[in-house]
Amino acid sequence: MHEVTRLLNAIEQGDPQAAEQLLPLVYGELRRQAARKLAQERPGQTLDATALVHEAYLRLVGDGASGWQSRGHFFAAAAEAMRRILVERARRKKRLKHGGGLRRVPLDGVRAAAGAPSDDLLALDEALAQLAEEDPVKARLVELRFFAGLSVEDAARCLGISRATADRYWAYARAWLYEKVRAGEKSENR
């Protein structure tokens, strides 16, 4: 049994020291995932990769593990936790009491601004939720590829499908999500 899987099982059994031993083993990979997620966000974020990793880790291990079957399952859950954290932050920033649609603009060089990437993330999250209702496997593949940064091979292995099937699902899901997000943009511009 892989060391990470052994520690995840120990956490589930209530071993308090296992959570302390797990973080150093998974920190590097979680940090890389977080950096990939934050690279897609608007510059000037107050949340950095380290903070995102720690917040996601607390959500995953804070109340005890939730029955992870493998290392891959844990990292997929971590990717999901990071996605939810970023979506929650985007929603919170969008609320009126946090400035709503207002954004800081430097006074030197005022230009017409495009939609904020957080809007894109919210639109993608909405479309992904619709895809999950229609086809949960394809939605999970998108989460593993886009949010967890897994390769097609690794995502296929996590889902228990072949590489060829994963390639087909990935192509379909990207086209489906593109159309949903694009349709949403068109309706907002009317």
The 8 Å CB, 24+ separation contacts for 122-127 are 122/87, 122/90, 122/91, 122/94, 123/181, 123/184, 123/185, 124/177, 124/181, 125/83, 125/87, 126/180, 126/184, 127/176, 127/177, 127/180, 127/181, 127/184
The pLDDT value recorded for residue 189 is 61
Band the pLDDT of 163: cuts 50, 70, 90: very high
Mean predicted confidence (pLDDT) in 92-98: 65
Is 34's pLDDT higher than 60?
Answer: yes
Is 101's pLDDT higher than 60?
Answer: no
Separation between Cα atoms, residue 90 and residue 100, nearest integer Å: 10
Is 142's pLDDT higher than 80?
Answer: yes
Q: Are 122 and 94 in contact (CB under 8 A)?
A: yes
Domain assignments of the chain as residue spans, ordered by start: 2-188
What are φ and ψ of residue 117, in 5° steps?
Answer: -55, -25
The pLDDT value recorded for residue 66 is 61
- Highest average pLDDT, of 58-62, 77-81, 132-136, comes from 132-136
Q: Would you list the DSSP string of 36-52?
A: HHHHTSPSS-S--HHHH
Mean predicted confidence (pLDDT) in 124-144: 90
End-to-end CA distance of the chain: 56
pTM, two decimals, is 0.53
Separation between Cα atoms, residue 163 and residue 60, nearest integer Å: 28
Is 51's pLDDT higher than 50?
Answer: yes
Separation between Cα atoms, residue 133 and residue 29, nearest integer Å: 30
Q: Are 70 and 5 in contact (CB under 8 A)?
A: yes
Query: Cα–Cα distances in Å, from 104 out to 44, 100, 175?
Result: 10, 12, 33
Is 154's pLDDT higher than 80?
Answer: yes
